[in-house]
Amino acid sequence: MDEETGTDGHVVAGLDVLDILRFIAKKQKRFLAIALNELEEIFETAGMERNSKEFQLIRKLILDLVNEYTRSILRVIFGDIEHLKYKEEPNKYK
């Protein structure tokens, strides 16, 4: 049991993992597009430029927060897969 999330990483037993990943990625892209579009509209209304330092900082903040939120969802569903160690296979084409 993961103390941080309170789950064992097996919340979606019986569901297709690829379908879940596609759904999450699709929703993430949609929410990001909406948020960044609204940010652009706010800056245009305020007479500020999209190339401004402020816009770039806020854009980066939104992207970082949504990406971290998505990672946390994936951790709850699948467990901590980011720190798995893979057995390195020899390169067959050398």
Long-range (24+ apart) CB contacts under 8 A made by 76-79 are 76/5, 76/7, 76/9, 76/11, 77/9, 77/11, 77/12, 77/20, 78/9, 78/17, 79/2, 79/8, 79/9, 79/10
pLDDT digits (tens, 9 = 90+) for 17-31: 778 888 889 999 999
Consecutive 10-residue runs of the chain (94 residues): their mean pLDDT? 56 70 91 94 90 93 94 82 58 54
Rounded Cα–Cα distance for residues 64 and 83 (Å): 19
pLDDT for the residue 9: 53
pLDDT for the residue 49: 87
pLDDT for the residue 58: 94
pLDDT for the residue 7: 55
pTM: 0.64
